[in-house]
Structure 1
Amino acid sequence: MPQETYDFIVAGAGSAGAVIASRLSESGRHTVLLLEAGPPDRNPWIHIPLGFTKTFTNPTVNWKFESAPQPQLGNRRLYLPRGKTLGGTSSINGMVYIRGNHADYDEWRQRGCVGWDWDSVLPYFRKAQNQARGASEYHGTGGPLNVSDQPYRFELSEAVLAACEQAGIPRNPDFNGAQQEGCGYYQTTTANRRRWSTAKAYLDPARSRPNLTIRTAAHATKITLAGARATGIEYVSPAGPQSATARLEVVVCGGTYGSPQLLMLSGLGPAQHLQDTGIPVLHDLPAVGANLHDHFNTYMSWRCTRPITLNDLENSWPRKIAAAIRYGLFRSGPMASNGIHAGLFTRSDPRLERPDLQINLLEWSTLERTKDRVIPHRFPGFTLSPVHLKPDGRGTVRLASPDPLAPPVILFDFLRTEYDMRAVTTGIRLARRIAEQPALRDYVAAEIAPGPLVTSDAEIESFVRQTGISNHHPSSTCAMGTGTNSVVDPRLRVHGIAGLRVADASIMPSVVAGNTNAPSIMIGEKAAAMLLQDTQAGTASPGTAPPGTAPLGTAPPGTAPTGAPPLAA
């Protein structure tokens, strides 16, 4: 097996991994290998803002995961798109730039994650950012990540926002400023009406550095260890099995599904599950793959009285051709925006301290939405999607088999509590109240889903269980903390293993109240800074162990010791 040596190996070139590889290689002092399982980000739909509707089901750049059957949702399998290309999910997402609520990060600090309170993470949000509105207390300029306002004011968006105000929800000009609550336009990770993924922001300027090696079609399959220290990565590529050695550290950035999967394939995880799967147990870490936390989403749609929605674009070849020409020549028209222009944050109960609901305006409505296709209605339509930001339930990510190329088993725990269902139904009733306001009277022809006949609590709850989905903001499967219910410490070092860190949305102790791409980029910035600080200080990743975890090479009775052959599943 050919082998190369680098100072750092970063496994995963997504929202955080691309940031880390770029920052670690910036000074020229360290050699960095960046591995990405997917292809380069050359698909033209990646770079067109409205193109994310095309990459949503494209297996070339999308892992297209599915969940296990969800008991609370009629045993349905949920479609879970994730980016499989340079830039990861930042190359296929809806580009909405939301940081979450300030209190989310203060809560992390209260859980023992020193250095992750709002005041501590804000400098990294600002460092990453090149804010179109200019620098301020909350925003930075000169960073790699371009953040822009919507290119236009849209007729339907203006009507919805006016209806929100009539329903008692005040305007908020900046969801990422002093407060989150209110309604307004979303900013996006775009520049010059093109997507600005982390591949574009961080890797494009770094590609020519001789100390940075970027390998695509390189699927990490195992972290190699020597005793209690990570030494490198094994991966597969078109050339066959490969391996690389890290002089300093291995950084796992595979995302909320991929990072725990790689740790478990390497023998780091819950001992009983590894034993059952046939993986030798090298270090019993019960929290690997646990604590899966995500937002829960529902879609409500209305027939629009005017042909001003994206349904009208998709259903008309002349309109599509005209839009393509307009975008190609002038970078304008519907293809220059993401179609998710506006939304609101509010509380499902006024007694709550901060918002737990987000309602997005989607300027389209769909007849069918699956992992293989998205079909819009044949008439003008729009969608309001109430999203529950703070579900009580926690799911798991587990191995399906010892095969490193097999997708993981993903099980959510949505609608775990009465509060979960109450918050979602409150969001549905609020969306209806907005649609009934005078500002939308001339735009709404009829409610399509769930439909005007669905009115009682029982009927709404049935609709939620039959149609609700993940909002594609998974987190927390390699949670940060100091106790046994965590995987990494506040410097993102894997408990008990030196030379190994995890840095992506999986390290969040709990999901933030909003879209997770901007926080993932912040995590990448902060992780890179800590890596460089610890390397300079000579204290890189000592591998601290939380109370109660088994030392390396030991396992509970009945599990395989270090070096033992895999047990039969």
Structure 2
Amino acid sequence: MDDNVTTYDHIIVGAGTAGCLLANRLSADPKNRVLLVEAGGNDDYMWIHIPVGYLYCIGNPRTDWLYRTEPDPGLNGRQLGYARGKVLGGSSSINGMIYMRGQRRDYDGWAEACGDANWRWEHCLPYFIKHEDHWRGADPAQGTGGRDAGFAAVHGTGGEWRVEKQRLSWKILDAFAEAAQQAGIPATDDFNCGNNEGVGYFEVNQRAGMRWNATKAFLRPIQERDNLQVWTGAQVSRLLIQDGDGGPRVTGIEALPIGGGAPARARAAREVVLAAGAIGTPQLLQLSGIGPEDLLRQHGIAPRHVLPGVGENLQDHLQIRAVFEVHGVKTLNTIAHSLFGKAGIGLEYLLKRSGPMSMAPSQLGCFTRSSPELAWPDLQYHVQPLSLDAFGEPLHRFNAFTASVCNLNPGSRGHVRIRSARAQDAPAIQTNYLSTEADRRVAAESLRLTRRIAAQPALAPYQPREVKPGVQFQSDEELARLAGDIGTTIFHPVGTCRMGRDDDAGAVVDSRLRVRGIAGLRIADASVMPTITSGNTNSPTLMIAERAAQWLLA
């Protein structure tokens, strides 16, 4: 960066999942001058690319913002580490690599919330397909949702976003899948047809056993474009806003070099697009004087544009981890504790790019209902052939599997609010998990369902014994409190700058992702989701960015 103020057509804040796609699409026309700004560094760290390397990226200041949540009453006062990618590729460089779109009803609900039918499932699906390179090719729907999907094809081929089958299988996971079917959950081989009910192995964003992040997909192929400039190591500290007869307009950005130095500025002739995520985007808006008036004044920031919804409506998936000790079957616990086992794991990956080093954090998925009265799945399982006390701690020395279950549609809402007027100070993240009676009830029912699956004949040969939370806990009250003791984030924060109708005082952006009441500013990341999707949130964020790029170019 230099001190000269250069003018670009578009400035994109955040080179994560959405930002990399936006840079690709907006710079495709050589007449468009595009600046992409990222606080983190290059994605040249070895552990980004080896799938199991997420263990070394989460909690690492080289790749993670290292956020922590506020003490949460729903978690019985606990705080959680809240990983967000701080590197080219953003969270796609450190996440679980699971390809998941969510359910048809998620997008139909968005359309209703913002009064725009363009957000319905049938209108979003082409924007998933546009950048997809699915291992099946452009095939018709195959999974349980395919029977009513109503489309000739639900997958695409030849796009930038690679989707592959996992390069592994585990006997204990196969047994869990069979047990789930015995408990009444159908098998599926495609979670992405509009109804993701069923049990099967997750598909992943990998290519030949290596992580496929947004940098590789969208940024690296275009890095030689003369009309694209990329700043790394530059944290955008505020938006530049100009008042005019037509109201306020964002005209550019100011960025602070990580490590110190003079701030640099850039101007936007057309629009600034925020793609800093559900934590970074509301923080930057608030630092710039856009947000709840009382919060801004509390920190000595003159309000430039009052929008009460900025930073509110935080939603996330809370996973509740149940651990079962098993016998007569190998799991990663004992393999990884053996010197011979470790050598075998390394050799298999070196020769075949398969095995445990190619593992996503979760391998087997299951979507089902907490109550038979529900018309749709409201629970998601991430099942793993391993166990540990907490993320980052050593694996147990006994064979075990972990079945983590989350409420897909939580009613609890949190917020993101600045602590000071300094961009370098992390915002306060209040998650408010389990703050509704319905969420506590679903948590209790989900633990009971886990026990029901574990008790099925398919798992009986392995004598599963519940180690965590423990069979002594049975009542709704005990199980809900346990959920607070053992629950943890699955890293899906969304909703803090949500879409909505013009008469919705809490909405931050309109249905075309323009920030309400201020010109020259758009948001294209997970913060715009009115409600969280029924599954992992990375690929829905790409779809949002794909749609935003179309509107920006128009």
If the TM-score is normalised by the length of the shorter chain, which range does it land in? Answer: over 0.9
Q: Show the counterpart of 1:351.
A: 373
Q: Does 1:5 align with 2:7?
A: yes
Cα RMSD for the two superposed structures: 1.4
How much does 1:456 deviate? 2.7
- Whichever residue aligns with residue 37 of structure 1, its letter is A
Q: Show the counterpart of 1:558.
A: none
CA-to-aligned-CA distance 1:188-246 (integer Å, 9 cap, x gap): 11111111111111011111111111111111110101111111110111553111111
| Alignment map for 1:372-391 (pairs within 5 Å) | 373-391=392-410
Mean alpha-carbon deviation: is it higher for 506-515 or for 68-77? Answer: 68-77
SS of equivalent residue, structure 2 residue 122: helix
Q: Does 1:173 align with 2:189?
A: yes
Aligned match for 1:128, one of 131, 135, 154: 131
SS of equivalent residue, structure 2 residue 123: helix
Give the distance between the partners of 1:306 and 1:400, measured in 2 at CA: 52
Q: Show the counterpart of 1:212.
A: 228
Give the count of matched residue pairs.
Answer: 530
How much does 1:307 deviate? 5.9
Aligned match for 1:150, one of 149, 153, 166: 166
Aligned match for 2:472, one of 444, 453, 467: 453
Q: Does 1:499 align with 2:502?
A: no
Aligned match for 1:197, one of 187, 194, 213: 213
| Alignment map for 1:444-483 (pairs within 5 Å) | 444-482=463-501, 483=504
SS of equivalent residue, structure 2 residue 404: strand
| Alignment map for 1:253-292 (pairs within 5 Å) | 253-292=275-314
- Whichever residue aligns with residue 235 of structure 1, its letter is A
Aligned match for 2:253, one of 233, 257, 261: 233
SS of equivalent residue, structure 1 residue 135: coil
Contact 2:168–2:356 at 8 Å: present in 1 too? no
Q: Show the counterpart of 1:539.
A: none
Give the distance between the partners of 1:48 and 1:283, measured in 2 at CA: 44
Structure 1 segments of 4 or more deviating over 4 A? none
Contact 2:168–2:355 at 8 Å: present in 1 too? no
How much does 1:317 deviate? 3.8
Identity among equivalent pairs (%): 43
How much does 1:158 deviate? 0.9
Give the distance between the partners of 1:68 and 1:77, measured in 2 at CA: 6
How much does 1:424 deviate? 1.1
CA-to-aligned-CA distance 1:480-530 (integer Å, 9 cap, x gap): 112211101111111111110011000001101100001011111111111
1:206 to 1:443, Cα distance in 2 relative to 1, 3 A: farther
Mean alpha-carbon deviation: is it higher for 230-239 or for 387-396? Answer: 230-239
- Whichever residue aligns with residue 122 of structure 1, its letter is L
Contact 2:103–2:194 at 8 Å: present in 1 too? no
How much does 1:461 deviate? 2.0
How much does 1:113 deviate? 4.3
- Whichever residue aligns with residue 125 of structure 2, its letter is L
| Alignment map for 1:354-365 (pairs within 5 Å) | 354-365=376-387
SS of equivalent residue, structure 1 residue 452: coil
- Whichever residue aligns with residue 256 of structure 2, its letter is V
Give the distance between the partners of 2:347 and 2:234, measured in 1 at CA: 36
Q: Show the counterpart of 2:202.
A: 186
Provide TM-score, normalisation by structure 1.
0.91
Q: Which runs of 5+ in 1 are unaligned?
A: 534-569
Contact 2:114–2:510 at 8 Å: present in 1 too? no
Q: Which runs of 5+ in 2 are unaligned?
A: 140-152
CA-to-aligned-CA distance 1:81-120 (integer Å, 9 cap, x gap): 1111111111101111111110110011111241211011
1:108 to 1:74, Cα distance in 2 relative to 1, 3 A: same
Give the distance between the partners of 2:17 and 2:334, measured in 1 at CA: 33
How much does 1:325 deviate? 2.8
Q: Does 1:515 align with 2:518?
A: no
Aligned match for 1:418, one of 407, 412, 437: 437
Q: Show the counterpart of 1:25.
A: 27
- Whichever residue aligns with residue 196 of structure 1, its letter is W
Give the distance between the partners of 1:32 and 1:155, measured in 2 at CA: 50
How much does 1:422 deviate? 1.1
Give the distance between the partners of 1:7 and 1:453, measured in 2 at CA: 62
Give the distance between the partners of 2:306 and 2:376, measured in 1 at CA: 37
Aligned match for 2:388, one of 366, 370, 383: 366
